């Protein structure tokens, strides 16, 4: 009566368990015990079949070793800690698409749609929405700080803004990563809206993505300085745009200046946050925590500005109402 020694690649056959049909003592794949093989993983030296082997720099590896090795390799990151993607500008294209769709809705629905979303100080009603009562940021419609950055006044307005967003947004997105880029765009846009609102009169209004775009321009300026790139083109762009904002009537230079300031702050937070010595969770990474702190600081200042100026506008509206009753 002959017996065979079980392979060291699999546990011994239990009583009553069907025996493998491979020749006695032949190694089998540890993932497919029914397959005889003489291939081994170069890393763990377990037997693997041709379906399981993964080409490596030296020899072949099993799928488990490949997954385990991937966990120990740090993903490529930019100077600002953003993930490196092969496809660039995905989030920028998404923002442009949202703005274009919103502009299409403005043309289809009419002025009432724009009036409901633009950055408006305070108003009892509007000619476009005569049934509206107590509209405006000062009357509690804080959502306008966000929605106003996605609507535009004319074809030339949206065309110029979207072209600027493409030129400036893509390199910023490549450095920050998609999600952090989107959050930075929103934070800069809201901060720009808050500064614009802080200088508004009761019936003033503003709209457009230029405040958020100026924020991205501020981020790009800091990142270029951090990477020791030629600063002259960026500084010229900032100077020309600010000069245009101050010299042309009808342009909300408060939003541009506010967005630029928010962008510079966020750029410093991203560019000069300390890097973690080793791979760590996102909520422990200083390159995430410092920008989050900067973004929260912008939002806190936004709340203060909007709250204070809302009270001012409400008091002025009340005084105007009392004056009209007296006269």
Catalytic residues: 210, 256
Contact status, residue 220 vs residue 283, Cβ threshold 8 Å: no
Q: Measured between alpha carbons, how far apart are the two ends of the chain, in Å?
A: 121
What burial letters (b/e) apply to 9-34, b meaning 16+ CB within 10 Å?
A: beeeeeeeeeebeeeeeebbbbeeee
What is the rounded CA–CA span in Å between residue 225 and residue 285?
23
Contact status, residue 147 vs residue 101, Cβ threshold 8 Å: no
Nearest alpha-carbon partner for 137 in 260, 305, 321: 305
What is the Cα 291 distance to its own chain's centre? Answer: 12
Nearest alpha-carbon partner for 309 in 136, 151, 146: 136
Backbone region of residue 198 per phi and psi (left: phi > 0; alpha: psi in -120 to 50; beta: other values): alpha
What's the angle, vertex CA 186, arms to CA 206 and CA 196, rounded to 5? 30
3-state secondary structure of 271: helix
What is the rounded CA–CA span in Å between residue 280 and residue 277?
9
What is the rounded CA–CA span in Å between residue 241 and residue 167?
14
What is the rounded CA–CA span in Å between residue 173 and residue 92?
7
Token pair for 141: 């419609």
Token pair for 177: 């990563």
3-state secondary structure of 10: coil
């Amino acid at each position: 009566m002959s017996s065979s020694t079980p392979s060291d690649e699999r546990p011994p056959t239990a009583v009553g368990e069907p025996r493998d049909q491979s020749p006695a003592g032949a190694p089998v794949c540890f993932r497919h015990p029914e397959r005889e093989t003489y291939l081994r993983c170069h890393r763990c030296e377990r037997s693997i079949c041709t379906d399981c082997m993964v080409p490596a720099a030296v020899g072949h590896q099993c799928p488990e070793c490949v997954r385990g090795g991937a966990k120990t390799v740090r993903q490529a990151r930019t100077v600002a800690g953003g993930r490196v993607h092969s496809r660039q500008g995905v989030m920028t294209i998404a923002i442009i698409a949202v703005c274009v769709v919103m502009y299409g809705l403005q043309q289809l629905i009419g002025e009432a749609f724009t009036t409901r979303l633009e950055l408006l100080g305070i108003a009892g009603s509007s000619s476009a929405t005569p049934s509206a009562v107590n509209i405006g940021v000062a009357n509690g419609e804080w959502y306008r700080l966000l929605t106003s950055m996605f609507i535009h006044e004319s074809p030339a307005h949206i065309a110029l803004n979207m072209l600027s967003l493409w030129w400036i947004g893509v390199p910023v997105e490549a450095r920050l990563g998609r999600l952090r880029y989107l959050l930075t765009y929103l934070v800069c846009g809201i901060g720009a809206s808050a500064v614009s609102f802080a200088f508004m009169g009761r019936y003033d209004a503003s709209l457009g993505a230029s405040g958020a775009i100026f924020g991205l321009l501020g981020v790009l300026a800091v990142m270029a300085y951090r990477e020791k790139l030629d600063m002259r083109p960026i500084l010229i762009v900032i100077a020309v745009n600010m000069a245009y904002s101050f010299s042309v009537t009808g342009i909300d230079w408060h939003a541009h200046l506010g967005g630029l300031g928010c962008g510079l702050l966020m750029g410093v937070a991203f560019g000069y946050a300390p890097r973690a010595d080793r791979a760590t969770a996102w909520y422990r990474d200083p390159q995430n925590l410092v920008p989050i702190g900067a973004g929260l600081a912008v939002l806190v200042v936004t709340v203060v500005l909007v709250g204070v100026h809302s009270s001012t506008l409400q008091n002025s509206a009340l005084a105007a109402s009392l004056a009209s009753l007296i006269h």
